[in-house]
Structures are given as C-alpha cells and as structure tokens.
Amino acid sequence: MNILLLCNKSPYPPSEGGPMAMNSVIMGLIEASHNVKVMAFNSDKYHVNVEDIPEDYRKKTRIEFIDINLKIKVAEALKNLLTNESYHVQRFISEAFKKRLIEVLKEEKFDIVQLEMIYMAPYIDVIREHSDAKIVMRMHNVEHKIWERIAKKTVFFAKRWYINHLARTLRDYEMKSLSKVDGIAAITLTDAAYFRRVTATPVIDLPFGVDIEKFDPVFEVGDKPTFYHIGSMNWMPNEEGIKWFLKNVWGDVVKRIPDAKLYLAGRNMPKWLLKKKKKNVEIVGEVPDAHEFVNQHNVAIVPLFSGSGMRIKIIESMALGKTVITTLVGAEGIQYTEFDNIIIADNVPKMVENICRLYKHPEEAEAIGLNARRLVEDLYDNKKIISRLEIFYDEIRSKREITILN
C-alpha cells in the first residue's frame, strides 16, 4: 500500500511520547514493505533540524516539513472565547501546509492517509477533495479528557473556567471530526471503547509497539536500587505529577531510607525544578540515550493524575525489564496484572510504602521487571501490532469497494 502520514510534529527523533508513537508505526509499515511518505509540522515548540535526521531515514520516509508558529497569542486566545472553535486545533491551520498537501495528493495516489492526532483533522476536507484514499485518524489520546482532568485540579476559578472552555470546544471538534474519517485507531482498549460509544466509524485498538530486538533489558537489581523518572517536562501531566511526587512523597521516602536516590531525566525541565533543591534528587535533564539511562537504574516512578492514552515511557521501561510504580491514570491502556508486572500506587502512603519495600527487597523489583518484559513481548511487539493495522486498512478499503459496487 501507498500510505501518507500527516503529523503534528516530527516523528524523528523519537525522544518523547508523540514522536515515539508515530515513529513506531512509520518504521513498522516500512519494514512490512509498504511505501510511506511523511508530512509534518516543524514548530518553535518542537523544532527539528532536517540535516540532523539520518539520510537513510529521510530516504525511507520521504519526510518533509512545513514550518508553523504554535506560540500562544493572547489576542487570538481571547478572541476565540467568542466562538465555539477549538483554539487547540485552530493553531494547526496553515495555508502553507494545505498548499503543499494538495500538491502531494496530485503528484501521487495514496491508498491510506493517516492523521496522527486530532490536530491534523482540519485537512480532512482537503484530502477528500483531492484524493480517494481512505482516511484513518490515529488518536494518541482522547484529547479533551486530558484538559477536563486538568480543569478539575485547577484551583483558580478564572483559569479553571478557561480550561473547561478549551476542553468543551476540543471535545465538540473531536466528535465532529470522528464522523468524517473512515477509521479510527485508538491507542488503548479504553479509548477504543469510548470511541465506539460515540461514533459509528470503525475503530481498532492499536497500542504503542516496540521493536523488541532493540531493547536489551538489564534485569539485575543491586543491593541499593535507584529510582528514576524519564519524560518530556513540557507535557503538563508529567510536570504536574513530578511536582506532586517531590512535594508529598520523596521527603517521606528519604526519612525512612536516607540512601534512596532519585534521578529525573527528560526534555524541557521547568525553571522551578532546576532551582529546586531536594535531598537525594539529581536533575539529569535531556539524555543522549534513553535506553542507556534507564538501564543504569532500577525502578521507574510515573506519578500521573491527568492525561489519556498510553504512557509510552512505561512500555519502554517495561521492555527494558524495569519495575514501574505508577498511578491508575498512568497505567491506563496497559493490560497489566498488579504486583505481577507493575505496581499501582494512587496516593502518598501507597507510593511511599511500595518504594521503601522495593528498596529493602530488590529481588521483588527484579521479578516484577522480568514479568514486565514478558508482557511487552506478548502484547506490545510492534510486528504483531502492524499486522493488525494492515488488516484494519484492508477492511476499511474493502468496505469502500463493496459500497461502490452496490
């Protein structure tokens, strides 16, 4: 098949959740012998230098970028309050992208056009006008639910009201867009069930997959396990979770275990975190090799209380044989068995108790990490996931052909 993917940001480098999810599908489709072309926005928020992308990757993906300014403009945000349009989505409307997309669709015939995230939905009508390709919307999250959860935790009334406005307009746009595509690929079973309730469009649950062969696990846990968090800190749920953890949990852990160490890695560390002096906490920042960083440590801490979809960094840590301590929200979408391949701790006492227990009993962390790796091999092997996606593509293409014949 000839497949065009439209991405709200570059899938390369795959160094944070969204790009990692996009890249896993892109590379999986290429390895399955499909022809792939990628068009992506290149923004001030997530900017990529084209020359930094390996030549082989550029050749295989035929990737090209359209520059866009995604900085929030106060005047436009205030003006948006007078409309029912989603400001989140409006920022991704680009005449330059539309123009180049039309050229690409005229130059080449595609079987599938896949939109990576709801922010690419403004181009559905353009695709319909200039191509007979089937359109698949890949939903990394139920986007409006992220903002609904954030609003519930926002204390300041005016800010909470505005975030609720953003959530409502985004929800309305999502619902309208889902009925305009031919298929929806949700990243979790939970999200897929939600989409099946609200739309008649065919839905598949398509989790994030990893290339198992590229993950060399380190199962051994030393006498003094170390704890870590890795994730992009310009994603609000990550920042929110780490702030909660440092304020409420880590101090109690250190009181009970003075030697406990926590390492925080990821892009875009906020100023408040860089300035914060917390005992036995090392701010590592962005790391050149995420796998190497993870394999230097033993237990992942993922304290999430908002967000939607699947936490890709959790799957990667599990693939590397690590025990993950997270919340119910953090574990959403993962088909886990508690205390067998993951640990759920939704409040301060549980978080503290489980961290301290694993520190004192490292053999438990080793056993859970081993089971976590097995779970990823069974359910999150990218080759198996891409095979399911291929079947889904064939089904929605066959449905169109049957409709035409009738």
DSSP notation for 128-195: HHH---EEEEEESS-HHHHHHHHHHT--SHHHHHHHHHHHHHHHHHHHHHHTTSSEEEESSHHHHHHH
Kind plus residue range of the DSSP H or E element containing 67 = strand 64-68
Query: Tokens standing for 310?
Result: 């699947």
Question: Would you say 154 and 163 are in contact if contact means Cβ atoms under 8 Å apart?
Answer: yes
Query: Tokens standing for 375?
Result: 């779970």
Which residues lie below 8 Å from residue 184, measured CB to CB, with a gap of 6+? 136, 137, 138, 139, 178, 192, 195, 199, 201, 202, 203, 204
How much helix, strand and coil, in percent to the nearest 5, is found in the chain? Answer: 50, 15, 35
Of 293, 358, 297, the C-alpha closest to 325 is 358
Question: Would you say 178 and 195 are in contact if contact means Cβ atoms under 8 Å apart?
Answer: yes
Residue by residue, pLDDT tens for the chain (406 residues) are 999 999 999 999 998 888 999 999 999 999 999 999 999 999 988 899 999 999 999 999 999 999 999 888 777 777 777 788 898 899 999 999 999 999 999 999 999 999 999 999 999 999 999 999 999 999 998 889 888 888 888 889 888 998 999 999 999 999 999 999 999 999 988 899 999 999 999 999 999 899 999 999 999 999 999 999 999 898 888 999 999 999 999 999 999 999 999 999 998 899 999 988 889 999 999 999 999 999 999 999 999 998 666 788 899 999 999 999 999 999 988 999 999 999 999 999 999 999 999 999 999 999 999 999 999 999 999 999 999 999 999 999 997 543 433 3
Of 162, 114, 138, the C-alpha closest to 6 is 114
Q: Beta strands 281-285 and 299-302: pairing type? A: unpaired
Whole-number Å distance between alpha carbons of 389 and 3 = 12
Q: Which domains does the chain have, with CATH numbers?
A: 2-209+382-405 (3.40.50.2000), 212-379 (3.40.50.2000)
